[in-house]
Structure 1
Amino acid sequence: MSQVRFTESHEWLRLERDGSVTVGITDFAQQQLGDIVFVQLPNVGDEFAADSEAATIESVKAAGEITMPLAGSVLEVNPALQTEPSLINHAPQTDGWIFRIKLDDASALDGLLDETGYRQLLGDLS
């Protein structure tokens, strides 16, 4: 079973079997943005420090940044988002993933919210 963690800025991170981490935004985040019309993806090989801007999502309501939650380098981006950015609206935690990274320190995932903690955060926002 894959391990999924969440950030307070509404990104999800899924640890894959090969040790890479897939990153996307949560269902809550895509609902707040509305219909997504464009995604500016990072480049494969880009390296980011924790909490730095890695991608931009534009919707009919607003533009938002995807923050690199942990330090690492981009292994892959979701090419389907170039022609179908609305995948993030329809399947934010499956087909709408944004990029895959190699973490500088995989144990840093432990510092993020688990599903219970994220649900509590959402409860506090309502």
Structure 2
Amino acid sequence: MCSKALFVVSIHLLLLFCDVESCCFDPPSDNECEYEGWVFAPGASFKAPAPHCEDCTCTAGILSCDGYGKKAGVASIQGCVLVDDDSTCEMQFVDSMDETQPCAAWEQKRGVKNE
């Protein structure tokens, strides 16, 4: 058990320094997984909404989660600032010179992506 705990701590430290949103939790009982007080059966998958923004899967008692949307990784657009809005998982950027205005470069990228 001690080596498993050391492994989990090592992974968490690695993820902390990599700025990657991903985590694993010890199961509440055999083959079940727990997330924020909810218990999930083996094979269950779910997307945790904002502010968590995690896509999780329970496999043999281990809960694996990866960030999605704004928590999928580090994003940067020249001339833009990422808005930290806990009410949504979507990335939102504003102009770095006038944060009351949307970022034109981001709006252009979104327009191309949505076509």
Q: Structure 1 length normalisation: TM-score?
A: 0.21
Greater RCO, CA 8 A, separation 6+: 1
In our comparison, the structure showing a higher alpha carbon Rg is 2
Query: Which of the pair is proportionally richer in strand?
Result: 1
> TM-score normalised to the size of structure 2?
0.23
